[in-house]
Chain A
């Protein structure tokens, strides 16, 4: 099932990236918040991957080319502003998408109805930090702007149709643009300029074409499981 893999991989990979923050966050409250978001996403990933097969087989035994996540979620954490920009772009998208899926009667409706409550919290967290970083100090403003710019080219891929999701993708994109614009405006920032999709980036992750940081991430994630074939944990 293509959609279960696509949405499951998005959640799995972003959860992994957020898990890398443990012990490194700028303030203790963010240790709790980032781990909390990572856990929610991991929970979603487990449900979605289980719809597609065995969760551990899918997470630990597929190679890079078989993962269907968007490239945005595999981008390294960078500084806190990069993590927040990635989270703002993604959770705004995920909330809109899950709202749509929850309204429908497709196979993801029950999951989406539960997950959208978690995702609304993730989006709020990302927005609150976007406001603080954008409208905080000169340095935080610059860092937030750089992060938004750097990740902008990975946003177009979010709106490539996913087989099995009955969603109006162009309407979703319109709604996403207006929500993100509104937050950035309040944060004294503006929508990045430059291409939001390219011949290479748009839709590539969904087809198993990933960026270079993804391979090392998977190597770390999978190495122990792969070192003990057939073992139960």
Chain B
């Protein structure tokens, strides 16, 4: 989009912005945009970046215990990718006039959120597979439409991220498949992990449409393309046959194909639990934020050293 309203009033700027959205053009960093659009994107991209960074913890919890060298290499590469995704996303957020330091500060002080899913613990090796299959699967379902998001830098970051995420998702599926076809104990481990991660994964799509605060506006701005419930339904429909081919069951007695709707019906989500996790009372909220803060605080002297060295030697600050 190019700004053709340079000499006009605010109304004309808005008209150019609206026309760009209507024509499905991308909004770029130097284009005029409504303050609320900017704020909403900062909130969403930051939360997305924070989720990548906090999301490293539950998986990193198993790097030291991975049961084969091949699996260990795959897991390390995945956690490394997540740090890289965090970096892309902080850069995308910075095009909107904020800074990574400021965003991290908001994460550490609890003023910005990250995905509720990462407040659940990884209790067995199979959880690494369940996170890949279900959590990354849900993330992809959410994120593929973001590749067409109206804000250019975010959309382009999502194209790169979705490629790597689909790879992670297939690896998670393959990990679970190996367990499911392994010994009785391994199969039980896989089933237990799926039982614990299924409902939290469905919660990743956010509150139901009639209770979603930001949805309508985000859809009008073409930041979002589908409603929470639509994406959740799409995810369930994808997972059911995959669970069957894995030889694992999904922990929902109400789950069944509805011929009339052409979709799977599924049982009620425990929105009280979701609310508690969002309010900071999930199983790992305190632990996740403390570890992040500790890493940041204990690393302060390293960042100060790098800045002091750069100042002495005339480098741009890293």
Contact = CB atoms under 8 A, between A and B. Distances in A.
Contacts of A100: none
Contacts of A30: 299, 302
Given A23-B57, A133-B302, A225-B67, A35 B80 contact: yes
A22 interface: yes
B280 to A, nearest CB: 20
A150 to B, nearest CB: 17
A24 to B, nearest CB: 5
A135 to B, nearest CB: 6
Interface string B290-304: 010011101111111
Interface stretch (A103-111, A136-144, A161-169, A196-204): A136-144
B295 A23 contact: yes
B80 A32 contact: yes
Contacts of A36: 80
A16 B301 CA distance: 25
A43 B186 CA distance: 26
Contact-residue size bin, chain B (C-beta under 8 Å from the other chain): 35 or more
A25 B295 contact: yes
B73 A46 contact: yes
A232 B295 CA distance: 35
Q: Which of B56, B83, B182 has the most CB of A within 10 A?
A: B83
Interface string B172-185: 00010011001101
Nearest to B65: A224
Contacts of B56: 22-23, 31
A9 to B, nearest CB: 12
A20 B304 contact: no
B80 to A, nearest CB: 4
Contact of B72 (A26, A31, A42): A42
A132 interface: yes
A132 B77 contact: no
B23 interface: no
- Chain A binding surface, main DSSP class: helix
B102 to A, nearest CB: 15
B183 A228 contact: yes
A28 B53 contact: yes
Q: Which of B179, B295, B299, B305 has the most CB of A within 10 A?
A: B305
Contact of A27 (B76, B291, B303): B303
B282 interface: no
Contacts of B76: 19, 22, 35, 38-39, 42
Interface in B137-190: 175, 178-179, 182-183, 185-186
A140 B80 contact: no
Interface in A42-86: 42-43, 45-46, 49, 55-56, 59-60, 79-80
A80 to B, nearest CB: 5
B86 interface: yes
Contacts of B90: 28
A231 interface: yes
A140 B301 contact: yes
B79 interface: yes
B69 A55 contact: yes
B69 A45 contact: yes
A42 B67 contact: no
B306 interface: yes
Interface in B69-85: 69-73, 76-77, 79-80, 83-84
Contacts of A228: 67, 183, 185-186
A143 B301 contact: yes
Given A135-B309, A220-B64, A28 B69 contact: no
A32 B84 contact: yes
B27 interface: no
Interface of B: 53, 56-57, 60, 63-73, 76-77, 79-80, 83-84, 86-87, 90, 125, 175, 178-179, 182-183, 185-186, 291, 294-296, 298-309, 312-313, 318
Q: Which 8 A-B pairs have the closest CB atoms?
A: A26-B299, A136-B305, A140-B305, A35-B80, A31-B83, A22-B60, A26-B302, A23-B60
